[in-house]
């Protein structure tokens, strides 16, 4: 039996993080330059049903039966097997690798889960459809994040730009022309569940104040949807800056994010904001193709530990 590989890309949120947890829309795009992979192959040395999991990047090399069922890798495997309900499971090995930066708001956890679910279900002869891959990935996300909005599992599974709102049909965005984006990593890590739960406490104390800010962000996201489809980078830039001002009001930025955002703007980006949980992690800027090199260099000069440029390819609208 050949090696079967399940894959999934990284992602970045362009607009609407945090407000999306409170029912507002948000926009996210896949980042294909970084990806997670799960290679699945038979293990002829083990007994039927034994599953050997290797994730050498994090020093993990063990059997599923030895892992805490709450461990995200174990959860992804167990949820897949529960979904498939097969009578006979051969011994197999899952080798996981990923080039997605960890805890940087690029969806590394969700991409690894989606890759495992795809790899194992295909290896066992019953490849699961994207809708199920997304649902199972969401279940694993709940273990890490408590109350995830659901945007990460969708953008990563479908590998398309998405306009996402809780309890609404998912919309895929078809972009008319190329747009260019630069992602700068501050190297500071604050887990998303921390910023989400801190904002949750403040929201519980002053719901009207925060709901108003979330609604204003929702309005920005709606306008950004049209600007993104038309690849109107002037409007996208203005909206990134407006969204960032509101994220600052929510106390989600920090000195290193502010420094990278300013450096991108000074180097000619049309707009920039933090992306994801905030208080560290990544920022994102939109720029014309001719300004990309200058923005990338300015981010490194301002202390970014990693810079990834990505473009959203133009897709003719159907």
- Tell me, residue by residue from 108 to 127, as one string, x for binding to ligand PMV by CB under 6 A and - for no binding: --------------------
Could you tell me if 220 and 19 are in contact, meaning their C-beta atoms sit under 8 angstroms apart?
no
Helices then strands, counting H and E runs in the chain, come out as 9, 11
From 105, 119, 184, 237, residue interacting with ligand PMV (rule: CB under 6 A) = 105
Active-site annotation holds for 293: no
DSSP state of 49: T
> Can you tell me the distance from the alpha carbon of 135 to that of 144, in angstroms, rounded to the nearest whole number?
15
Residue closer to ligand PMV (CB basis): 144 or 259: 144
Distance between CA atoms of residues 183 and 260, nearest Å? 10
Q: Which of 57, 152, 293, 301 is catalytic?
A: 152
End-to-end Cα, the chain, rounded Å: 40
Answer yes or no whether residue 185 interacts with ligand PMV by CB under 6 A: no
How far is 22 from 46, CA to CA, in rounded Å? Answer: 47
Residues 237 and 239: their CA atoms lie apart, in Å, by 5
- Both tokens assigned to 291: 């300004």
Sign of the CA dihedral running 233, 36, 159, 313: positive
Please, which of residues 4-33 interact with ligand PMV by CB under 6 A? Answer: 13, 17-18, 20-21
- Residues 313 and 285: their CA atoms lie apart, in Å, by 16
Using CB under 6 A, which residues numbered 187 to 226 contact ligand PMV? 192, 196
- From residue 26 to residue 65, what is the string marking binding to ligand PMV with x (rule CB under 6 A)? ----------------------------------------
Q: Quote the least distance from Cβ 107 to ligand PMV, whole Å.
A: 6
Closer Cβ to ligand PMV, 121 or 149, answer by number: 149
Residue (30 or 276) nearer to ligand PMV, CB: 276
Of 51 and 133, nearer to ligand PMV (C-beta) is 133
Give me the residues that bind ligand PMV (CB under 6 A), please: 13, 17-18, 20-21, 105, 145, 148-149, 151-152, 192, 196, 276-277
The residues annotated with a catalytic role in the active site are 152
């Amino acid at each position: 039996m050949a090696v079967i590989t399940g894959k999934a890309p990284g992602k970045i949120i362009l607009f609407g993080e945090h407000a999306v947890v409170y029912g507002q829309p948000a926009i996210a795009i896949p980042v294909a330059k970084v990806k997670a992979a799960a290679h699945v192959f038979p293990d002829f040395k083990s007994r039927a049903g034994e599953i050997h999991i290797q994730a050498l990047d994090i020093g993990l090399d063990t059997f599923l039966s030895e892992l805490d069922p709450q461990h995200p890798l174990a959860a992804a495997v167990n949820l897949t097997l529960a979904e498939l309900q097969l009578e006979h499971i051969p011994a197999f090995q899952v080798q996981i690798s990923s080039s997605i930066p960890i805890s940087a708001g690029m969806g590394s956890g969700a991409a690894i889960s989606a890759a495992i679910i795809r790899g194992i279900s295909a290896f066992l002869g019953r490849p699961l459809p994207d809708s199920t891959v997304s649902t199972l990935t969401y279940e694993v996300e709940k273990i890490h994040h408590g109350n995830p909005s659901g945007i990460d599992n969708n953008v990563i599974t479908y590998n398309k730009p998405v306009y996402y709102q809780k309890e609404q049909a998912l919309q895929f965005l078809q972009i008319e022309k190329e747009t260019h984006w630069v992602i700068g990593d501050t190297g500071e890590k604050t887990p998303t569940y921390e910023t989400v739960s801190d904002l949750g406490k403040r929201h519980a104390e002053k719901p009207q104040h925060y709901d108003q800010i979330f609604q204003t962000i929702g309005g920005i996201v709606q306008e950004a949807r049209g600007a993104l489809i038309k690849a109107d980078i002037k409007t996208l830039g203005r909206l990134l800056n407006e969204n960032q001002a509101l994220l600052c009001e929510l106390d989600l930025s920090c000195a290193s994010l502010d420094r990278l955002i300013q450096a991108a703007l000074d180097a000619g980006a049309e707009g920039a904001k933090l992306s994801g949980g905030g208080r560290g992690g990544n920022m994102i800027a939109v720029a014309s193709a001719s300004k990309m090199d200058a923005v990338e260099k300015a981010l490194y000069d301002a202390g970014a530990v990693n810079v990834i440029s990505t473009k959203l390819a133009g897709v003719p609208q159907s």
